[in-house]
Amino acid sequence: MTITYQETKDIPIESLCRLFHEEQWNDFYDPDDVALYQHVAVHIVTAWDGDRLVGYARLSGTGRLEVEITDVLVETAYQGQGIGTELVRRLVERIKAIDPYFIQVSPIGDREVHLYQKFGFTEIPDHRRMELMTGRLTEKVKKVRGEG
């Protein structure tokens, strides 16, 4: 197994949708959503095992003012091999080149906190992130989960 990395927005939609659905990560995104997020991304890094997409990481935001590392995902069978670390390393290189005013990441667990700490991110005490799901998004989530 040789993992190769690409830094391009030109990713087959079906490959990315497969990865999201198999890993149940933003699996409510339909192909149009995926295409939009690729188009508006500041930067995307992918990991490939041959022609199989096994890792994905996206930098979103305005670019110069603020950026956020989002959707860092490695297929379960490929985790623990440093792929996620390499995806984030490449995004951090890009962030340094852009030199934005504000950089954000929202880790979902201790494993992710540890990963980002390797690159100098620090936790903000008592920081809470809130969201408001639109009706459209709520319906998509229910549909994908077979709830409605």
Query: Are 13 and 31 spatial neighbours (Cβ–Cβ below 8 Å)?
Result: yes
Check which CATH number belongs to the domain holding 120 and give it.
Answer: 3.40.630.30
> What is the pLDDT at residue 132?
46
Quote the tokens at residue 58.
């996206």
- Tell me the torsion sign for CA atoms 75, 80, 85, 90: negative
Fill in the DSSP letter of residue 77: G
Of 94, 68, 66, 82, nearest to 118 by C-alpha is 82
Asked if 29 and 37 touch (Cβ cutoff 8 Å), the reply is yes
Counting the structural domains of the chain, the total is 1
Range of the domain at 72: 3-144
Of residues 137 and 75, the one with the higher pLDDT is 75
What confidence tens digit (pLDDT) does each residue in 99-121 have?
888 888 888 888 888 888 888 88
46 C-beta neighbours (distance < 10 Å), count: 23
Averaged pLDDT for residues 125-136: 56
SS3 128: coil
Q: For residue 148, what pLDDT band results from cuts at 50, 70 and 90?
A: low
What average pLDDT does the structure give for the chain?
Answer: 86
Averaged over 46-52, what is the pLDDT?
97
Q: What is the dihedral of CA 79, 82, 86, 87, to 10 degrees?
A: 10
